[in-house]
């Protein structure tokens, strides 16, 4: 992926750093540690992200979606934050089974330290983006294959990345109170992404998909 402008250095420099690590590692080792299917003959990982299946090449790191032509937005192909996030998972993260428990951002390592940033960047964005558009929110969540849950005025559980799950909960605003939201992470996330910043990017990417699909 090209970052031709200096203004993109915030994403270009991490991308260049992690792509070098990715290309230097054995893909079989990454596949085993992250529990991501890998076809050694074709040199392709198979990755699910927000309801879409992608093939991702090694060592080039080119992504191509295989399904869901109706969605029209494929962040693993051209969104820098999603591409860097998946690079970090493949090169640093580890897969573990979820127990069924979900964590708030405050409950993950370093989450208390970065909560204010996460609240503004993700929770408020979800609340004010969809808190007064519950029907549109439900339509989009149904479209990505999310499962409705009983929490909130509208709540859904969905797979963000292979075997890593999120819950988005919304409470509708009214004349007296603004809309509110909560984002919960399956308890295997802290092994998959070791930094609090990564979890904020998870929120960025997932809400970005919802925003793109709402247009």
pLDDT digits (tens, 9 = 90+) for 32-91: 999 999 999 999 999 999 999 999 999 999 999 999 998 889 999 989 999 999 999 999
Question: How high is the pLDDT of residue 113?
Answer: 87
Q: What is the DSSP letter of 162?
A: T
Indicate whether 15 belongs to any domain: yes
Indicate whether 185 belongs to any domain: yes
What gap in Å lies between CA 197 and CA 200, rounded to an integer? 5
Please confirm whether the linkage preceding 59 is cis (ω < 30° from 0): yes
Residues 146 and 192 in one domain: yes
CB atoms within 10 A of CB 24: 9
Given 68, 92, 116, the domain boundary residue is 92
Could you tell me which residues are beta bridge partners of residue 53? 48
Could you tell me which residues are beta bridge partners of residue 156? 148, 168
Indicate whether 137 belongs to any domain: yes
pLDDT digits (tens, 9 = 90+) for 136-156: 999 999 999 999 999 999 999
Question: How high is the pLDDT of residue 187?
Answer: 97
pTM of the model: 0.92
Residues 108 and 203 in one domain: yes
CB atoms within 10 A of CB 196: 19
Residues 106 and 209 in one domain: yes
- Would you say residue 23 has pLDDT above 60? yes
Question: How high is the pLDDT of residue 6?
Answer: 46
- Would you say residue 4 has pLDDT above 50? no
pLDDT digits (tens, 9 = 90+) for 95-125: 999 999 999 999 998 888 889 999 999 999 9
- The number of folded domains in the chain is 2
Residues 21 and 71 in one domain: yes
CATH number at residue 164: 3.30.310
Long-range contacts of 116-120 (CB under 8 A, 24+ apart): 117/200, 118/196, 118/199, 118/200, 118/203
What gap in Å lies between CA 56 and CA 15, rounded to an integer? 15
pLDDT band per the 50, 70, 90 thresholds, residue 175: confident
Domain around 14 = 6-92
Residues 160 and 208 in one domain: yes
Indicate whether 1 belongs to any domain: no
Residues 56 and 115 in one domain: no
Indicate whether 209 belongs to any domain: yes
């Amino acid at each position: 992926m090209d970052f031709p402008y200096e203004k993109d250095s915030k994403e270009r420099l991490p991308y260049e750093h992690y792509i070098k690590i990715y290309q230097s590692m054995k893909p079989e080792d990454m596949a085993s540690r992250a529990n991501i299917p890998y076809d050694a003959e074709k040199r392709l990982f198979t990755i699910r992200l927000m309801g879409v299946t992608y093939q991702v090449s090694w060592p080039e790191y080119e992504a191509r979606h295989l399904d869901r032509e109706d969605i029209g937005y494929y962040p693993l192909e051209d969104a820098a934050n999603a591409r860097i996030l998946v690079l970090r998972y493949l090169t640093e993260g580890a897969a573990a089974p979820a127990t069924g428990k979900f964590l708030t951002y405050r409950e993950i390592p370093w989450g208390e330290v970065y909560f204010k940033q996460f609240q503004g960047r993700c929770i408020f964005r979800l609340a004010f983006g969809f808190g007064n558009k519950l029907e549109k929110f439900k339509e989009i969540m149904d479209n990505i294959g999310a499962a409705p849950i009983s929490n909130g005025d509208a709540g859904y559980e969905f797979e963000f990345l292979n075997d890593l799950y999120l819950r988005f909960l919304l409470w509708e605003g009214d004349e007296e109170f603004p809309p509110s939201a909560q984002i919960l992470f399956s308890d295997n996330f802290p092994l998959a992404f070791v930094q609090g910043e990564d979890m904020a990017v998870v929120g960025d990417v997932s809400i970005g998909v919802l925003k793109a699909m709402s247009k």
